[in-house]
Amino acid sequence: MTKKKVFVISHSHWDREWYMPFEQHHMRLVTLIDNLLDVFKNDSDFDSFHLDGQMIALDDYLAVRPERKPELAAAIKAGKLRIGPFYILQDDFLISPESNVRNMIIGRDQAREYGQEVPLGYFPDTFGNMGQTPQMMTLANLKTAAFGRGVTPTGFNNQVGDADYASQYSEMWWQGPDGTRILGLLFANWYSNGNEIPVERTAAKKFWDQKLADAEKFASTDNLLMMNGVDHQPVQLDVTAAIKVANELYPDYEFIHSNFTDYLATLSADLPKDLSTIHGELTSQETDGWYTLANTASSRVYLKQENTKNERLLENQAEPLAAMAYPAADYPHDRLRYAWKLLLQNHPHDSICGCSVDEVHREMLTRFAKSQEVARFVAHDALTTLTAKINTTDFNEQAKPFVVVNTTGFTKTGLTRIVVEWDRIAFSATGTIQEQRHQLEQRLAELPELMVVDAHGQSVPFRLIDQQVAFHYDLPKDRFRDPFQAIELTIELNVVNMPAFAWRTLALQPATQTLVPNATVKAQPRLISNEWLKIGVEDDGSLTITNRETNKTYHQMLVFEDTGDMGNEYIYRQTADKRAYYSTDFPMEVRVVHADELGSELELINYLEVPTSADEQLAKETHAIVDITQRTAQRSTQKVPLTITTKIRLNPNSRQIQFESHVNNQAKDHRLRVLFKTALTAETHVADSIYETVTRANRPAKNWQNPTNPQHQQAFACVFNEANGVTVGNLGLNEYEILPADNTIALTMLRCVGEMGDWGYFATPEAQCQGAFTFNYSLELTDGSEAQRIASYQRAQGMQTPFSNQQTWQHTGTLEADDQYLTLATPEFAVTSLKRANNSTGLTVRGYNLSDRQVPLKVTTSLSKQAVNFFEEELPEVTTDTLMPMEIKTLLLTEAGRA
């Protein structure tokens, strides 16, 4: 009889920072790898150690032990230390599509510096798995993914719940929305099912009787996987002795100390034909809903906002501008890689999810700041280089030219703000600094009437926002710094329908004609409108909005809701009083801020009062580590003001309404959301996810017991039917919920709690998110057509990236004043990256199909095109001129005959 094989894989799931600050975990990682190197020398039967699928562990170790790099390299080459394929173990849903890809690229590249990466997409503790994982793994040359969550319920302290929720086997086919299929491995008994194996025979017999039964319950073959490790687990020094005992106790089994490469090869050869197929995203949809951990999308929302800002700076500004400005030899690969690695260090699930102790998240803010500064440096340098190549000689001598660039992959309309230097006096000029300032102040007082003109001499409406004399300095590349004082004029203007990756040159100059305001623009105290929309503020502070194209009117829009939260950083749990406070029950004020050719703006102030915190019962329950489902706390009877000031902006040339809300939060233990009541009849909705416009049910499955059904999003969520649609966009607000009673889109703005949660009591007072916050989001009403919906998705994504602009001077140049770097004519193609190729002199353009239809892909360029995978390896069977349903596509653009 053929023996069953038991593959024991030693590992340690290394949360880089979590319930202790980074350096506390870091020092323990150093000890772990020190011990591993000793084990490799002293135990010839020790096959290997799986370093958790993340290359950053090596970076962290070598930061302390650089002298041991040769030993590490030798252990990797010998197959003793198994590394990669990723840089970090990320949260899928809370980082951008490109961040997910860069994690794979950087991880694979670093692994290849040592040898060969483990051929496994490794997601042991990811808080749900993205639906496009099969296609993404295939584009990274991976055929298998292993994961712990999303299928079975996993509760407090990672206890795996009722097996009735499990799939047929722990092995299954996983099919993405585009049809791509890979092998999925579920850690059905968690990634610790072979941890701390006893050597003593009686204990070993008891241990293995249970572990083998558990594994065989789900295994599809006679090849059983035992994961010898768990979170931050020290290496089991006597594991080979324990395996020897197991082989003596169970003659019908062969216990092998092994690795994923050998296990996968054996498993794949024995897979049965009746494996189940799971489809799309895995977010524990078929569980009771309590431990999906989806509410980490709203924990410490300031982290999500900084992350989105950081991603947009790198993906949609620094990289495209550098591609547009520099030849391949000058492209700043190293600086951008450095910025990306800093950003990715904030993307492990316990970090970006905001579910760690306060010290962890303070350090994250520093990393964000560093990465953003590098991105800004690259973007500014590239923009300066680009604008210097543009011909600006068509303006008059007194004109101050500036260039506005759309660095997104969509046609973009909206306001842009630029600071124009009108005049300057260097410190090195005649007179004291005070005398120089006085001269500038006089010139500012005598400023002529101004106008903005485009490259064709046409007047462009603008607002003068601010004017001042300010100190600045230049840092020339070939000489010492140059301090000066200057007249600065801050202006705002409306850019209309600028194509993707295009620029326009304008100038601020003395007026050559009398400027007459547009008399057709009228303001009413509570009403603004344009060609497509009419927005009215009701007495209760809610908005009534009419889509003028369809004559559909929506009521109770922009209603703020505040509820108590007795949960933790992982899970929202409403306080037992079940009371919700709505802005419509409190006083409000509204005023017109702007009503001119640039658009209309209202300021709405809602004066809420909410409880200061939860009552004393919550402190007792958290300290006693009472499970959140069993808590009974209510909200305090004491109140504190919660004033919400919202700017409501309507551009005359856009269907999108933009909102900017300001809150100074002084309340604790609560959740603040903004509600948009759609009242549309629909059973499903869509949301912006990772390389996917994902369709989700508006109501949870029958097994669901959680009163709420929170969901993840990137840039938007949309409820629609055959006649109408409502798209709500956001900037760094990753949590929403569809309220089933009337299909309201509820967008979470703040969720404030005082403890980390999970396996003990960890106080997190800074997770109460006290202080000032600004929230940016948008609303668009559509008809029932897919074309309007996709346009609304584009505008929601485009809202996250402002126009780039740069003042220049009058000079000749090889580039036209108005031009486009790359022409895109496929509305469904959502571009996520434009950059120089890593491995050639070409460019790469990556994006995905926003629709579930096959569409022509029209990318116009003089360069040759070929389809490639994430590592820029050619995919000869993939066409360059067609975009399949839900397809992710990377195009490599090169000069003919060059690579």
The Cα–Cα gap between 106 and 871 comes to: 10
Closest CA to 413 of 151, 795, 742: 795
- List the helix and strand counts (H, then E) for the chain: 16, 45
Give residue for tokens 């759309």: 406
In sequence order, what are the residues at sequence separation of 6 or more whose Cβ sits closer than 8 angstroms to the Cβ of residue 838?
105, 333, 872
Collapsing DSSP to helix, strand or coil, 69 comes out as helix
Closest CA to 107 of 889, 869, 870: 870
Instruction: Tell me if residue 125 is catalytic.
Output: yes
Helix 97-114 / helix 69-77 crossing angle, nearest 10 deg: 90
Q: Is the peptide bond before 85 cis (omega within 30 degrees of 0)?
A: yes
The Cα–Cα gap between 819 and 498 comes to: 10
**Phi, psi (deg, nearest 5) at residue 36:** -65, -45
Catalytic residue among 125, 565, 615, 688: 125
Cα torsion for 225, 229, 230, 233, to the nearest 10°?
-170
The two tokens of residue 793 are 């998705």
Cα torsion for 385, 391, 392, 393, to the nearest 10°?
140
Closest CA to 75 of 288, 252, 248, 235: 235
Give residue for tokens 């997104």: 408
Burial of 78 (0-12, 13-18, 19+ CB in 10 A): exposed
Segment (H or E) for 550: none
Segment (H or E) for 398: none
Give residue for tokens 């996520």: 832
CB atoms within 10 A of CB 702: 6
Instruction: Sheet containing 462-474: give its strands across.
Output: 412-426, 482-498, 462-474
The Cα–Cα gap between 248 and 256 comes to: 13
DSSP 209-243: HHHHHHHHHH-SSSEEEEEE--BTPPP-TTHHHHH
The Cα–Cα gap between 56 and 102 comes to: 13
Closest CA to 739 of 715, 711, 712, 713: 711
The Cα–Cα gap between 489 and 466 comes to: 6
138-172 burial, b at 16+ Cβ within 10 Å, e below that, comes to: bbbebebbbbbbbbbbbbbebebbeeeebbebbbb
Beta-carbon-side half-sphere exposure of residue 109 (alpha carbons within 13 Å): 13
In sequence order, what are the residues at sequence separation of 6 or more whose Cβ sits closer than 8 angstroms to the Cβ of residue 437?
469, 485
Burial of 482 (0-12, 13-18, 19+ CB in 10 A): middle
CB atoms within 10 A of CB 295: 28
The Cα–Cα gap between 857 and 850 comes to: 12
Q: Cβ distance 729 to 778 under 8 Å?
A: yes
The Cα–Cα gap between 295 and 574 comes to: 12
- Catalytic residue numbers? 125
